[in-house]
Amino acid sequence: MVEGLIGKKIGMTQQFDENGNVIPVTVIKAGPCTVVQKKVREKDGYVSIQLGFVEEKSVRKPTKPQLGHFKKSGVPVVKKLREFGCADPAAVNEGDQVLVDIFEVGETVHVVGTSKGKGFAGVVKRHHFRGGGAAHGSMFHRAPGSIGASSYPSRVVKGMRMGGHMGDRRVTVRNLKVVETDKDNNLLLVRGAVPGANGGYLLIKKGKFGPSGGK
């Protein structure tokens, strides 16, 4: 079985559990994905399955390398390609479709996405610095303070928390519980928030981190 899917974030909503408690959930369009290529240990040095995310709008002007790559598997050209592990590669063939029903209600998944870009941000917003006093005479409101000694080492040390580009980074949220799956509409509902804006691409992966599953 393929151990993940490519998806797209639809947005957040809420549901109620059996006790009447409100549960925040994220709706993800998970798949359908098509198997484009199988990586084998003898040829590629490792085993994985390359999936393509099927969308309503096809690629308008595919390049010649894209056409050649997809022609081998006999599937239409898609925009997003990603590789996932597979427990039994022999049971998967190029051209097969992988749907949201590979996930079960109650299991945990890990979602990878790109966080929202915030542009340039100062240390108060970016690193949660407290800032100085707000009175007129403080002259220290949202400044970072000292960033290093002048005599030694006479430079700013690597890793110093300063203002800079915030967000727009690859983020993994681990152990999100699957609340509901809708195979007819290719929808996956997970408990909690996932990185990125609505419409952003996501990787939904099975598996657990560490011996205890990261719990």
* Contact status, residue 196 vs residue 116, Cβ threshold 8 Å: yes
pLDDT > 70 in the chain, percent: 96
Instruction: Evaluate if residue 156 carries a pLDDT over 60.
Output: yes
Nearest one of 5, 8, 7, 6 to 197, comparing CA atoms: 8
**Residues 148-156, mean pLDDT to the nearest whole number:** 89
Contact 50, 38 (CB under 8 A): yes
pLDDT at 45: 87
Q: What is the pLDDT of the chain when averaged over all its residues?
A: 88
In this prediction the pTM is 0.82
How much is the pLDDT for 44? 83
pLDDT value of position 213:
43
What is the pLDDT, as a whole number, of residue 185?
92
Query: CA dist 55 to 41, 97, 160, Å?
Result: 30, 13, 43
pLDDT of 19 > 80? The answer is yes
Q: Are the C-beta atoms of 102 and 95 separated by less than 8 Å?
A: no
Is the pLDDT score of 203 beyond 80?
Answer: yes
Residue 210 has pLDDT above 60, yes or no: no
CA-to-CA distance for 44 and 50, rounded, in angstroms? 12
Confidence class of residue 76 from pLDDT cuts 50, 70 and 90?
Answer: confident
* Alpha helices (H) in 79-213, listed in sequence order: 123-127
Rounded average pLDDT over 148-154: 89
How far CA 48 is from CA of 21, 72, 122, 135, 136, in Å, comes to 40, 17, 42, 60, 62
How far is the C-alpha of 14 from the C-alpha of 24, rounded, in Å?
4
DSSP-derived pairing of the beta strands 48-53 and 108-114: unpaired
CATH superfamily for 4-118+170-205 is Translation factors (2.40.30.10)
| Per-residue model confidence (pLDDT) at position 208 | 62
pLDDT of res. 214: 41
Sequence-ordered list of residues with C-beta below 8 angstroms from that of 16, at least 6 positions apart, any chain: 22, 23
Listed range (74-78, 169-173, 193-197, 200-204) with the worst mean pLDDT: 74-78
Domain boundaries, the chain: 4-118+170-205, 119-166
Distance CA 185, CA 191 (A): 19
Instruction: Quote the CA–CA distance of 50 and 172 in Å, as a whole number.
Output: 20
